[in-house]
Amino acid sequence: MATTDQLASRQRECRKGYVDPSLIDYAVRLVAATRAPENTAARSFRSTSRSAQVARHIHLIEAARALALLRGRD
């Protein structure tokens, strides 16, 4: 089991990973599509009446960074 210090260290390491600007743009557009699907071709992304929170794109990027780190990529 990891300690709090070990987890904090991994988080810092993860946040150093490079994220291509096109991935950030994609995450922002994906979240925007869930907020107003009637204006996009991505209507199927909305499975509930709730729209995605504005900060959701940040979580998508953080998840991508964590996955890259787990797979040994920077």
Note the pLDDT tens digit of each residue in 33-73.
877 656 555 555 554 445 556 688 888 899 999 999 999 98
In total, the chain counts a number of residues equal to: 74
Rounded CA gap, 32 and 52, in Å? 8
Enclosing domain of residue 18:
4-70
CA atoms within 13 A on the CB side of 68: 17
Which has the higher per-residue pLDDT, 50 or 9? 9
| Predicted pLDDT of residue 74 | 80
Rounded CA gap, 41 and 21, in Å? 22
39-67 burial, b for 16+ CB within 10 Å, e for fewer? eeeeeeebeeeeebeeebbeebbeebbee
Total domains in the fold of the chain: 1
